[in-house]
Amino acid sequence: MASSPLISRTQKDLRGQIAEWRGSGDRISFVPTMGALHEGHLTLIRLARKKAERVVVSIFVNPTQFAPGEDLEAYPRTEAADTEKLAAEGVDLIYIPYPDSMYDVHHATTVKVGGVAQGLETDHRPTFFDGVSLVVTKLFNRVQPDSAVFGEKDYQQLATIRRLVEDLDMPIKIIGAPIARDEYGLALSSRNQYFDEDGLTIARRLNKIMFACAEEMEGGRNVDRAAEDAAKALLEAGFSNVDYVETRSKNSLTVLEGGVLNAPSRLLIAAHCKGVRLIDNCAVNAKE
Ligand SMILES: Nc1ncnc2c1ncn2[C@@H]1O[C@H](COP(=O)(O)OP(=O)(O)OP(=O)(O)O)[C@@H](O)[C@H]1O
Ligand SMILES: CC(C)(CO)[C@@H](O)C(=O)[O-]
Ligand code: BAL
């Protein structure tokens, strides 16, 4: 049986442990999370395990990525259950920083990524990636990992972190993990637990509509027209509001000129259902 993970709540404790592992030549792979762990998170941890001798997972509900009126207070906090799941995965260390230690009263630094971090999510959550980029920079500086794993479910976030690390010369390999889905294809997410049965039924329509739309695009349909129809289908399926349905180039997330699928691409969707905001995405590749 795997031994219990160490739990660090202070930077001093964390740094001491990391230094010890580094001293014995162990590599460190890091998985940042906001807790309320599900099978999707566990797939990230299994990937991290393959990359390094030591796996560190952080749990921190980061206030700077929530806008006023978003669900910061309501966000599920399940530390005891999370710790058990991480122990079962053989995680070496869980870092659970005290919120005051992340942002003290004098904090005055921002981290803003351009390019890939603009548009899509940023049109609807304008300060979201500023908060994510800031906390990830801080967590990277504290943990100093060799690699870090992020899920493709938050596709634009993954692209933003790749840009951040490249631009700021951080010697950390960023690894993307495929989206884990339930048996109905719904992308697993901590926020799925906000749904009642009705909400879940509607939510599970999103991936069907998305994959059907991607197939039309791959079959040669103009991507903008196909996206418009997918947005209508989402509303008909019971979504209350669609933030975006857009196809962008796979890496730089640039708009496809004229709606023509002329590069490996990604279809990205954000839509609201029963008060919950869902995001999902999938690959779209022109047929040869
Ligand atoms: N279904 C999933 N498949 C792959 N990765 C995932 C999945 N869900 C979350 N992740 C990844 O786990 C990491 C931590 O995410 P987070 O703790 O915010 O969980 P979440 O389920 O995405 O929560 P939220 O409901 O807030 O979006 C991120 O890198 C995220 O992309
Ligand atoms: C990367 C992250 C842990 C930063 O708070 C968060 O945005 C998330 O869970 O995806
Ligand atoms: N997984 C992204 C975290 C957020 O939506 O706040």
The answer to ipTM > 0.90 is: yes
Q: To which H or E segment does residue 134 belong?
A: helix 128-143
For residue range 241-274, list pLDDT tens digits in order.
999 999 999 999 999 999 999 999 999 999 999 9
Amino acid 2: pLDDT: 61
Sole residue written with tokens 């930077």: 11
Catalytically active residues, by annotation: 41
Share of the chain above pLDDT 70, in %: 99
Give me the residue label for tokens 């962008």: 248
Q: Does position 3 have pLDDT exceeding 80, yes or no?
A: no
**Cβ of 65 less than 6 Å from ligand 3:** yes
Ligand 1 atom 31 nearest Cα:
151
From the CA of 108, how far away is ligand 1's center (Å)?
28
DSSP for 7-62 reads: EE-SHHHHHHHHHHHHHTT--EEEEEE-S---HHHHHHHHHHHHH-SEEEEEE---
Ligand 1, atom 21: nearest CA belongs to which residue? Answer: 189
User: What is the CA(134)–ligand 3 centre distance, in A?
Assistant: 14
Ligand 1: list residues with CB < 6 Å.
Answer: 33-34, 40-41, 44, 150-151, 153-154, 177, 179-180, 187-191
Q: Of the candidates 175, 133, 158, 207, which has an alpha carbon nearest to the alpha carbon of residue 43?
A: 175
